[in-house]
Each structure stands twice: as structure tokens, then as C-alpha cells.
Amino acid sequence: MRPIWLMMLAAGSLAAATETLRYTVNWPSGLSLGEAVLTAEGNTKFELVLEASIPGFAVKDEVRAWAKGDFCSVKLEKKLSHGGKKREELMEFQPEAGVVTRKTLRGGESKLPLNGCGRDALTMIHYLRSELKQGRIPGAQQTFFGAAYQLSFLYGGAQNVQIGGAYEAADRIEVKIEGPASRHTIELFFGRDAARTPLLMRAPLPLGAFTMELQR
């Protein structure tokens, strides 16, 4: 599994209260691979904890993000465990210096250019939710998750999606993601409730599209 699917994820409330959302992670066949738990404290702190596995390969990811009230990122922490590979990383956003500083557990450090407000992957999705609440689709922009990625958003229309055996009204958003060495397209389905809750997410893998479905 690639970290790309983390970029799909949204969690939490845009109000001051803490909100927790739970998702099942499903293989194309419908087989459950595990669970993702997403929490948010208002619109300034977000967290993702995911555990999933297939025979011989386990995934446990912990991602935490801090942002200002305008969804401009301050810090992103990642602890990723994919099979036998482990990686820890810290990204610090310094708009006054025009850089994002990336540090790894082993002492590596690099800097990425930053022009004004920068958003990490988790914060970007919350920003998308806030725009949808205002009836807007954001324009193309950059996001950071280790490397810098260019995102573009396309409204795919209203659609009913099946969640927990019942159908719910949702808006489909297609997100095109272009990175230094990859291109992907994912689908996000946001409920039409006041919080614009992420209901369903789909991302491509070599063996087919896996999904994350909100647990009701």
C-alpha cells in the first residue's frame, strides 16, 4: 500500500468540538483489510491512525497535522510502518522564510520552496470541506506530504452512495494528484450534511480500486 491513500483522507469537525470518524478499509472484493480512525480538534489539529493488513504485509500509519485557523499548515508528523519498512518524518511550514523544512528520523533534512500559505494533505482535505460548505470548488493548488504534489479538483455531480446498507446523498469530487514521479486520480464522496462529512473514498491500486467507507 502506498501513502497516496492518506491524501484521500478527511476527518473531524470544522467547529471547536472534537469529532471522531471511523472507516473500514476494503479490498476490491469487499474484504475488509482494517480500520482507519480520524479525529480533529476544531480546524487546527487533525489526526489519522490506520491499521490494515493482508497476509504477510501489515500497515500501521499515524499522521498528525497542526494548522492555523485559515487552514494554513504549521506542522506535519508522520510515523509509517509498511511491512518491514518504518519511516518517521517531520515537516515544518515557515511561510515567512518561504520554505517547508523536512526532517527524517535518521537526521536527514531538506527544504522545499513555499509561496505563502502551505497545506499538508490532511489539512488540505479539511480546507476542501470548508470550501464545499460555501458552495465552492477550490482551484488547483499544491499540497505537501513528504514531497510536494499538485492537486486539481473536479466536481462530479450528485450521487447516492451506499453506506452501511443504506443509501445517502453525496457530492462526488474527483481529485487529480501529480507528484515528482507519479500521477493518480482518486474519488471522494462528501455527504450533504452541514459538516460535509466524507462518506466514501476510492483510490487505485495495481490489483484494483480499494475503498474506505464511513462506519455508521
How, if at all, do strands 73-82 and 147-163 pair? Answer: unpaired
Quote the pLDDT of residue 1. 43
Which one of 2.50.20, 2.60.40, 3.40.1130, 3.30.2390 gives the CATH number of domain 3-214?
Answer: 2.50.20
Quote the pLDDT of residue 6. 53
What is the rounded CA–CA span in Å between residue 165 and residue 12?
23
Instruction: Write the CA distances from 158 to 44, 54, 172, 173, 174, integer angstroms.
Output: 29, 34, 6, 9, 12
Quote the pLDDT of residue 2. 46
Q: What is the dihedral of CA 6, 136, 133, 94, to 10 degrees?
A: 50
Quote the pLDDT of residue 102. 95
Any idea where the domains of the chain sit in the sequence?
Answer: 3-214
Phi, psi of 133 (to 5 degrees): -60, -30
Q: 184 with 162: CB under 8 angstroms?
A: no
Quote the pLDDT of residue 210. 80
Quote the pLDDT of residue 16. 53
Parts of the chain with a pLDDT under 50: 1-2, 10-15
Distance of CA 139 to the CA centre of its chain: 17
Q: 60 with 48: CB under 8 angstroms?
A: no
Quote the pLDDT of residue 33. 86
What is the rounded CA–CA span in Å between residue 101 and residue 92?
5
